[in-house]
A and B are shown apart, each in its own frame.
Chain A
Amino acid sequence: MADSVSSPSGQQDEGETRRDFLLVTTATVGVVGVALAAWPFIHSMNPAADTLAVATTGVDLAPIDPGQRITVMWRGKPVFISHRTEAEIEAARAAALGDLMHPEPDDARVVEPQWLVVVGVCTHLGCIPLGQRSGDPRGEYQGWFCPCHGSHYDTSGRIRRGPAPTNLEVPPYEFVDDTTIQIG
């Protein structure tokens, strides 16, 4: 390359090499430039700052009786909060890990055993599973049932039967005091 660049345009094949070099260089810079310029446009489609800013939600747990379930919104998605009864906790703990499709022990999914907090979005294709309201079908494992393609979740929000690949997601949350949690 160096030769051809230093030689004047005179000789034919050397001129070709030099031209090739310039062509390849220009094309490379062009492609890299376009790729770099594309990034701001691609990234502009990611969540904007204000969308990210409304990303925490505080919830007062005091009014929720045992056996009751409530739904709160977090990042535009429903979060299921279940005040579990002794029987429900027992059922969640009794399940042998080997029987689970996505093995996770119950105590790894809760901070306080009586409070289960999960994102209420089916991990299959994003429907809202039923089971929050009394009278809703809760599926074979008494947790939640997704009507879209028939996923059954247990009282720990773990997938037990159906096409969903993983357990209901546990969002990041912490207890601010005994009866208040902050999600996100």
Chain B
Amino acid sequence: MAEYTWKSPTVRWVDERMPVFTLMREHLVDYPSPKNLNYWWNFGSLAGIVLVIMIVTGIFLAMHYTAHVDHAFESVQRIMRDVNYGWLVRYIHMNGASFFFIVVYIHIFRGLYYGSYKPPRELLWMIGVIILLVMMATAFTGYVLPWGQMSFWGATVITSLFSAIPLVGDDIVVWLWGGFSVDNPTLNRFFALHYLMPFIIFALVFLHLWALHTKKSNNPLGIDIKGPQDTIPFSPYYTIKDLFGLGVLLIFFLGFSFFAPDFFGEPDNYMKADPLQTPAHIVPEWYFLPFYAILRAFTFDIWFLSAKLLGVIAMFGSILILLFLPWLDRSPVRSGRFRPVFKVFFWLFVLNCFVLGVVGGNPAEGFWIPLSQASTAYYFGYFLVILPLLGIFEKPLALPSSISEAVVSKGHSPVPEAAE
């Protein structure tokens, strides 16, 4: 990287002693980015911004929130009615959780389609999967805090999952609860964890970016950067594009926060938790529905494994399997653009995730049960059967020889082929 001399003497003084400005310049300005990134590449930076929004709104909520079973529900209602702009802060935090998942899910599907998990970005991908897991734990603990009916019963059902673990399951559940049911000790520790985990995510995002900037961004063609002619600096080109994307996101995000703030929520959560009254139909937040469907797809025992344990294993497995994806899909071609057969199965996979979501939101009875089983089978089949086989049998299309060649239209001055 070319030596850069900072004009401001103050900046220079700091930078000589601790090169933060040089570091920021290197990663936010000079960072060589592929020329051909499309809008699907906006979602990483959007996720980062939503994380910051969640942390800021969360800290302001915490100033008014009381983590006690006798006061939690009332303190959230107070935030909504009496605290100045409390309604705004809470609605942004509530809808922010939904938009965080929308953005991150798109970001993940982007990676799945363009093969961003393939060498040399396996570790980058795996850190992403860990971020997803911590995000889920954060959202789950956060949803318990307002201490409504869904908070309480969602927490009861999900923590009870651990009782499926043989031998120690019941002890683990009591340990998680700090008592014999979801109660005050549970609410307290969930608040402590809910405050902590976003900062862990923040640290993980730095590792994610470190891995990214070591091996550089993938791109829609899925081919390597071969030289400077394939790249443009991150600033101003992608900073401005990311800002435009942010504007679009905020239109939707704030649109929901202002005009349909409870669209993603459950009316039952405006009733205070009652340990004696289970709501007729317990559903998790929408972003957990596909996994909830997988959990409930197992209605039969296999050998010594109970249906309950199988459901739990499958649910956690459905996320953990992503960690192994770089070794399940062995096709050397990254981008789905050049994989005619993969493309079909990929879009079926996306569709199948929506089907799982719909199934998860409906009662586990009637035809929903075989449907949940079929879509669970496709979910796992995609990773365990289809991708490994495609890696062997699929005949990919011819790849362009370089990013710049594919991007620069005919008639322009030919770009010198860089030596690899």
Contacts and interface: CB of A to CB of B under 8 A. Distances in A.
Interface of A: 42, 45-48, 51, 55, 71, 73, 75-78, 121, 124-128, 130, 147-150, 163, 165
Contacts of B277: 128
Interface stretch (B7-15, B16-24, B156-164): B156-164
B98 interface: no
A48 B157 contact: no
Given A127-B153, A147-B278, A163-B307, A45 B181 contact: no
Interface string B156-187: 11011100000000000011111111010100
Interface in B257-281: 275-278, 280-281
Given A78-B275, A125-B157, A150-B364, A163 B178 contact: no
Given A126-B156, A128-B277, A77 B178 contact: no
B407 to A, nearest CB: 53
A149 B178 CA distance: 26
A58 B348 CA distance: 58
A42 B176 CA distance: 10
Contact of A46 (B175, B280, B363): B175
16 contacts: A42-B175, A46-B174, A47-B178, A51-B179, A51-B180, A51-B185, A73-B276, A75-B181, A76-B181, A77-B180, A127-B156, A127-B282, A147-B278, A163-B299, A165-B306, A165-B307
Give the bracket for the number of chain B residues in contact with chain A: 20 to 34
B329 to A, nearest CB: 34
- The 5 nearest A-B residue pairs measured at CB: A126-B160, A75-B180, A76-B181, A127-B278, A125-B157
B249 to A, nearest CB: 36
Contacts of A51: 178-180, 185
B267 to A, nearest CB: 17
A78 B278 CA distance: 12
B296 interface: yes
Query: Do most interface residues of chain A lie in helix, strand or loop, or is the interface mixed?
Result: loop
A147 B157 contact: no
A76 B175 contact: no
Contacts of A126: 156-157, 159-160
Given A45-B189, A76-B183, A149 B275 contact: no
Contact of B178 (A46, A124, A130, A150): A46
A22 B177 CA distance: 42
Given A147-B280, A149-B364, A47 B179 contact: yes
A125 B160 contact: yes
B339 to A, nearest CB: 39
Interface in B132-160: 153, 156-157, 159-160
Contacts of B364: 149-150
Contacts of A121: 181
Q: Which of B174, B183, B278, B365 has the most CB of A within 10 A?
A: B278
B174 A47 contact: yes
Contacts of A130: 278
A121 B156 CA distance: 10
B178 A76 contact: no
A172 to B, nearest CB: 13
Contacts of B308: 124-125, 163, 165
B282 A148 contact: yes
Contacts of B175: 42, 45-46
A42 B178 CA distance: 11
